[in-house]
Amino acid sequence: MSDTSLLTEGFRKFREIYFEKSPELFRETLRYGQNPKFAMVACSDSRVDPAIVFQTDPGDIFSIRNVAALVPPNEDQGLYHGTSAALEFAVTGLKVEHIVIMGHAHCGGVEAMVRRQEGEVVGGKFLGQWTDLLVKARERALSEDGTLEGRALLRAAERQGVKLSLQNLMTFPFVSEAVAQGTLQLHGWYLDIAEGALEYFDGAKDTFVPLT
Ligand SMILES: [Zn+2]
């Protein structure tokens, strides 16, 4: 079993870079609170850390991570809505100017949903119900191209998942009202970590377009 030196050594580097080379960031700015312009919903997947992917500093991104980078629909029932609570705070408390949904290729959460839909027993007490929020993403991918299967179906379902989360975002009144007032913009992005490529969802054309 490996020890935790990867993390403790990393913390030493963090302290050196952020506290010793740019102490004003922490001692003069961040100690008084956070004021991020961006909230990002990203997957818990260890390969898609927003701060690394976008090379940002502490205080830049309010990061909301869960399996498959999902935004659930606004629900009045239920008790423990971690993602919804974080979104509410980002919009009403921090008044972020952008919410980015960042889906990604080779997402295990999307694959779990597709495999469940194909009859496999995948996921435990919590995971299956959570990823089933994405069932419509698979259905929409197949309604656009009924021949999709295997990896092509997964890639299409991953992109449809981003669109679905964008739609679910708008079911929260604090989101739709801020969008209507022009104080909040929503973005759907799709990261292919294997290719080092990023796409954004162009709503007018209803398609994903390379960002770089
Ligand atoms: Zn994922």
Kindly report, residue by residue over 158-190, the tens digit of the pLDDT.
999 999 999 999 999 999 999 999 999 999 999
pLDDT for position 21: 79
Residue 21: both structure tokens together: 């080379």
Tell me which fold the domain 34-210 belongs to.
Beta-carbonic Anhydrase; Chain A (3.40.1050)
Residue pair 46/88 in contact by the 8 Å Cβ criterion: no
pLDDT in tens, 130-160: 999 999 999 999 999 999 999 999 999 999 9
Q: How far is the centre of ligand 1, averaged over its atoms, from the C-alpha of 187 (Å)?
A: 18
pLDDT for position 149: 95
Q: How far is the centre of ligand 1, averaged over its atoms, from the C-alpha of 31 (Å)?
A: 32
Please state which of the ranges 15-19, 83-87, 103-107 shows the lowest mean pLDDT: 15-19
Q: List phi, psi (to 5°) of 95.
A: 55, 50
The strand pairing partners of 138, in sequence order, are none
Residue intervals of the chain classified under CATH 3.40.1050.10 are: 34-210
Q: Can you give the pTM of this predicted structure?
A: 0.94
Of 60, 166, 145, 38, the residue nearest 103 (C-alpha): 166
pLDDT in tens, 3-58: 999 999 999 999 888 888 777 777 777 888 899 999 999 999 999 999 999 999 99
Q: How far is the centre of ligand 1, averaged over its atoms, from the C-alpha of 179 (Å)?
A: 27
Q: How far is the centre of ligand 1, averaged over its atoms, from the C-alpha of 46 (Å)?
A: 9
Report CA 191 to chain centroid distance, whole Å.
10
Q: How far is the centre of ligand 1, averaged over its atoms, from the C-alpha of 181 (Å)?
A: 32
